[in-house]
Amino acid sequence: MPTQTPACATPDSRTPTVPADVIRTDVLIVGAGPVGLFAAFQAGVLGLKCELIDVLDRAGGQCTELYPEKPIYDIPAVPGCLAQDLVDRLLEQCAPFAFPMHFNERANGLAEVPPEPHGTAGHEHPHRLLVTTDTGKRFDVAAVLICAGAGAFAPQRVALPEAAALEDHHLHYAVRDTARFAGKRVVVAGGGDSALDWALALRKTAARVTLLHRREGFRAADGTVAEMRAAVAAGEMDFVVGMLGALKTEGGSLAGVDIRTREDTISLPADELVALYGLVSEPGPIAQWDLDMRAGRIMVDTTTYETSRRGIFAAGDIAFYPNKQKLILSGFHEAALALRRAYHYAFPEKALVHVHTSNNATLKEKLTHA
């Protein structure tokens, strides 16, 4: 994780000049999940330059972090695909525009950039924004599009004193490479789709997999639960009802876990612990941007999906309005309309003329020869 450095002293302080090391672009997209990735593609279609930031270490948002192997059936013209496949297709779709993506970056400060006098630097837009991140990066933009899902996501961590020293070595909050678990004794803790999916997948690689959950019921798809119970009945994996009580270490490595059950505490040998308790979401510093928010979500005008502050838009799960539906396809629609309004902030002197992508020769050349 990059070292965190202070950004703006106050979220709304005015900045008299824009420093030379600032990244200048038309739109900053906050969030590189499915909606953010589609927004990047739409920006390219419209001729807007954009950059993306995300607090996670790669693109995909919830789809990648929580349920990469969960099927999705409500994307238009795609009868069905896995969540990770959808992310991969969106990355491929926006790849021809080569928009920079900045990971491990949380949007922090927000300031308005006063206009430069006409004649000193050409025609400057009278209203631009300066966004800073928690690592010190700065973006001078005409508009900000917040596609941060339900907020900035971070894994819900194991609250045991031994946990911090084991993180990224023997304690994992996501599965990046199944090969590292080969021949290991693995405990997977959690009761959602992600926990069950990975327990089932790792049983084919690990020496032994134990699924740990605090109760018999699960927050997972019925078919996945049935598959897990069948694997336990067949002796392919184990299932224990209980909670983590302590982590045992030897020489800096995980050696086992103590599990508190209703009757007793049991000790289980383990080489790796995968804790999939879900992601904790919060608006983070965006909550200090003086936006109209309701229960952590941002109110928007449904004609443009602009927030209560000029030049700042929201799309996807974080956006809220009457009859809002938390669907990926709704986020796609919201982002498309938001960017059309953002275009006028980036190019106030130009008229945005609608052209179907099939009739845009320049765009077709870029997309078919990338």
pLDDT digits (tens, 9 = 90+) for 146-190: 998 765 566 788 999 999 999 989 999 888 788 999 999 999 999
pLDDT at 12: 41
pLDDT digits (tens, 9 = 90+) for 269-328: 999 999 998 766 666 788 889 999 988 889 999 999 999 999 999 999 999 999 999 999
The CATH superfamily assigned to 23-153+280-368 is: FAD/NAD(P)-binding domain (3.50.50.60)
pLDDT digits (tens, 9 = 90+) for 102-157: 998 999 999 998 776 654 444 544 589 999 999 999 999 999 999 987 655 667 88
pLDDT at 7: 33
pLDDT at 96: 93
CA angle 29, 35, 36 (to 5 degrees): 20
Beta bridge partners of 71: 82
Answer yes or no: same fold for 23-153+280-368 and 157-277.
yes
Tell me how far apart the 2 most distant CA atoms of the chain are, in Å: 79
CA–CA separation, 227 and 199 (whole Å): 11
Residue 92 has pLDDT above 70, yes or no: yes
pLDDT digits (tens, 9 = 90+) for 2-41: 333 333 333 343 343 545 689 999 999 999 999 999 999 9
pLDDT at 5: 32
pLDDT at 69: 75
The whole-number average pLDDT for the span 31-58 is 94
The whole-number average pLDDT for the span 346-368 is 80
Report residue 65's pLDDT band, with 50, 70 and 90 as the boundaries. Answer: confident
The domain segmentation of the chain, as residue ranges, is 23-153+280-368, 157-277
Average pLDDT, the chain: 87
CA–CA separation, 282 and 26 (whole Å): 26
pLDDT at 369: 66
Closest Cα to residue 175, out of 214, 212, 205? 205
> Hey, what are 26's tokens?
């038309």
Give the C-alpha distances (Å, rounded to integers) separating 279 from 66, 150, 227, 370.
8, 10, 24, 35
The CATH superfamily assigned to 157-277 is: FAD/NAD(P)-binding domain (3.50.50.60)
Amino acid at residue number 353:
V
pLDDT at 10: 33
Alpha helices per DSSP H over the chain: 34-46, 61-65, 83-94, 163-166, 193-202, 222-233, 328-346, 361-368
Residue 220 has pLDDT above 50, yes or no: yes
Closest Cα to residue 254, out of 168, 176, 171? 171
CA torsion, ordered 69, 333, 106, 296, to nearest 10 deg: -100
CA–CA separation, 6 and 1 (whole Å): 15
> Hey, what are 199's tokens?
């327990």
pLDDT at 116: 64
